Amino acid sequence: MSAPTVNYQYQRRYTGPIQAVILDLAGTCVDYGSMAPIQAFLRLFEQERIDLSEAEARAPMGTEKREHIRQLLAIPRIRDQWTARHGQAPDEDDIERLYRAFVPLQTDTIAGRATLIPGALELQAWCRDNNVRMGTNTGYNRDMVSAMLPHLTRQGFEPQSIVCATEVPQGRPAPHMSLQNALELEATAVQGCVKVDDTGTGIEEGLNAGMWTVAVVASGNAIGMDQTDWNRLLESEQSARLATARHRMAMTGAHYVIDSIAELPAVLAAIGIRLSRGERP
């Protein structure tokens, strides 16, 4: 008896619409300047009597927070301070102890930095109007996100999928969080998904997932300023800082670079046109 004939139909190029937008949280759609993690890390290392600069604290931004601590302790200046104070280089037990101390500090700072970035609600409305599903992922763990969500809900922001770095095999720059978002949002092609992030690590995550990527500059880690402080700068100073930050984020390989998610609907429309032509990320 011969085997049945199966008629497989292969689609060489995805030409459908955008299916899902996957947003980072801090610095992308909430907490202008991504200040909550920095405040928590500075407090953590101050408690350990270790001098940590804001620039050093920001260097691993986008990674899972335990990994963030590991990378901070690997900075020669920080490692040398630790060794001088404790008589030995930091080890995994130290990282775990610091992480346990960090979680309540981060949860506390999140509550005070849970204001949506301008444009977030308009983006959500655009997604609903255009039948695009919206999710978020983050280097925060679930307890940290749970502290933030009530504040976001009260402001009307309700992503359809939320994935934390501690809930997948590997955090950024591995693609697992974005791929888990895509599964939960029922996307059928990663080419129809867009990852939006304010860190190079987050952009790399999206690229590794095979998605379109959009880097956010002014509201995120690349500038690293609270909106009130940013607005106090002279226009010339803003322009100079933006030029430097845009260049740095362009070097991540992002397909698009924007100042804030207020500009994202226009970018999504442009990506939709490119998809209809058969273009891939």
Instruction: Give catalytic residue positions.
Output: 24, 65
Q: How many CB atoms lie within 10 A of CB 112?
A: 12
Q: How far apart are CA 77 and CA 60, in angstroms?
A: 15
**Sheet bearing 161-164, strands edge to edge:** 161-164, 133-138, 20-24, 193-197, 212-216, 256-258
- How far CA 273 is from CA of 10, 13, 15, 32, 79, in Å, comes to 22, 14, 9, 30, 49
Q: What b/e string do you get for 63-102 counting C-beta neighbours within 10 Å, with b at 16 or more?
A: bbbbbbbbebbebeebeebbeeeeeeebeeebbeebbeeb
- If you write DSSP's letter for every residue of 195-245 in order, what string do you get? EEESSHHHHHHHHHTT-EEEEE-TTSTTT---HHHHHHS-HHHHHHHHHHH
Q: How many CB atoms lie within 10 A of CB 238?
A: 17
CA neighbor of 18 nearest in space, from 227, 255, 191: 191
